[in-house]
């Protein structure tokens, strides 16, 4: 069975999916122009890539519509105000996520001894707290609607999850799925107060990107976790897409899956790159901003 996760406006028309697909939907719409974020998962054959590409084309048509609106002189007069509004939304977003992180990090610290004693590898309690943190933050700024969660493997089953990477918001969106997969992150992120410390408690795997020894250690850690029943998560492109197009996949995720014999669960994210484009992490766009083409590449 395959799995699809769409994040799109509640009022947006349903996107048809094959019998093996599941969907997750989030977002909002303005004057009939939907914005989408989508996540597609697990298919053991090449049809997954084709399915993901088809759905991406649907979303790009929405980007084209938004960009066309930007060319309308009557709509462009308020663009600077919209940019300011986007920056203000970004400030509120980080304020909310920081305040929530403080209280939930304390909860993580309290339960951590029990987690190490009874659930060292999956760390389900820590991931449940992280899901609360992500959901609290996301729910105030964009909507999520999940379809097909029944097609995701249970937390008790080890798997390699992979997804395209568009935005800083991808992590928040994925955490709301409630799956106990271990992300891979740059070592520098672990130095951030509260957020970096929480990542350590979650068991996030550190990586120095340009260090071949660190890359090898990272893959060994992933193999060990999978053999012990935990799941791992890869962004196989290795970095965020600047234009929304899918980049070339690196081999790490798939070599780990082959070595351990676990399934690969592909996830397609659509729309996060429009809400918070790469390189513009201080801004958080709204429907109105997307309608004017702001933040759309």
CATH of the domain at 266: 3.40.1130.10
Residue 14 lies in a domain: no
Residue 43 lies in a domain: no
pLDDT at residue 285, rounded to an integer: 85
pLDDT digits (tens, 9 = 90+) for 70-84: 444 444 445 577 788
H helices present in 228-286, as ranges: 252-260, 272-275
Question: Of the segments 125-129, 191-195, 208-212, 235-239, which one has the largest average pLDDT value?
Answer: 125-129
Q: Is the pLDDT of residue 184 over 80?
A: yes
Residue 88 lies in a domain: yes
Residue range 109-137: mean pLDDT, rounded: 94
Q: Is 189 helix (H, G, I), strand (E, B) or coil?
A: helix
pLDDT at residue 45, rounded to an integer: 41
Residue carrying structure tokens 């600077």: 80
Angle at 195 between CA 216 and CA 166, to 5 degrees: 65
Output the pTM of the full model: 0.72
pLDDT at residue 119, rounded to an integer: 93
Residue 36 lies in a domain: no
Residue 40 lies in a domain: no
pLDDT digits (tens, 9 = 90+) for 259-284: 999 999 888 887 888 888 888 888 88
Q: Is the pLDDT of residue 220 over 60?
A: yes
Residue range 229-238: mean pLDDT, rounded: 90
Instruction: Give percent of the chain above pLDDT 90.
Output: 33
Pull the structure tokens for residue 154: 């249970």
pLDDT at residue 108, rounded to an integer: 96
Q: Is the pLDDT of residue 110 over 50?
A: yes
Whole-number CA gyration radius for the chain: 19
Nearest to 126, CA basis, from 193, 203, 208, 232:
203
Q: What helix, strand, coil percent values describe the chain, rounded to 5?
A: 45, 15, 40
Q: Is the pLDDT of residue 224 over 90?
A: yes
Q: Is the pLDDT of residue 7 over 60?
A: no
Residue 228 lies in a domain: yes
Domain that holds residue 165: 83-293
Higher pLDDT, 7 or 186: 186
pLDDT at residue 55, rounded to an integer: 32
pLDDT at residue 273, rounded to an integer: 86
Residue 257 lies in a domain: yes
The 10 Å CB-count burial string (b at 16+, else e) for 18-32 is: eebbbbbbbbbbbee
Query: What's the number of domains the chain is made of?
Result: 1
Q: Is the pLDDT of residue 236 over 60?
A: yes
Residue 2 lies in a domain: no
């Amino acid at each position: 069975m395959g799995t699809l996760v769409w994040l799109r406006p509640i009022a947006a028309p349903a996107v048809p999916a094959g019998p093996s697909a599941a969907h997750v939907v989030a977002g909002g719409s303005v004057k009939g122009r939907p914005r989408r974020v989508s996540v597609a998962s697990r298919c053991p054959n090449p049809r997954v890539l084709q399915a993901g590409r088809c759905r991406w084309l649907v979303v790009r048509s929405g980007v084209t519509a938004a960009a066309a609106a930007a060319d309308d002189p009557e709509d462009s007069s308020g663009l600077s105000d919209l940019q300011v509004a986007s920056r203000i939304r970004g400030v509120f977003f980080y304020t909310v996520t920081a305040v929530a992180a403080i209280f939930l990090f304390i909860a993580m610290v309290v339960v951590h001894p029990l987690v190490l004693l009874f659930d060292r590898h999956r760390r389900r309690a820590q991931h449940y707290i992280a899901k609360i943190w992500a959901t609290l933050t996301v729910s105030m700024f964009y909507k999520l609607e999940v379809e097909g969660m029944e097609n995701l493997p249970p937390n008790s089953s080890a798997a390699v999850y992979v997804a395209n990477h568009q935005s800083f918001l991808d992590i928040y969106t994925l955490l709301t799925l409630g799956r106990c997969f271990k992300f891979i992150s740059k070592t520098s992120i672990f130095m951030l107060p509260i957020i970096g410390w929480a990542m350590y408690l979650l068991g996030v795997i550190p990586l120095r990107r340009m260090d071949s020894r660190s890359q090898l250690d990272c893959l060994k850690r992933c193999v060990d976790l999978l053999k012990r029943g935990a799941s791992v998560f890869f962004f196989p492109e290795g970095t965020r897409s600047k234009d929304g197009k899918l980049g070339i996949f690196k081999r790490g995720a798939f070599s780990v899956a082959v070595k351990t014999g676990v399934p690969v669960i592909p996830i397609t994210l659509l729309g996060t790159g429009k809400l918070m484009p790469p390189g513009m992490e201080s801004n958080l766009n709204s429907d109105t901003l997307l309608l004017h083409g702001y933040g759309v590449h």
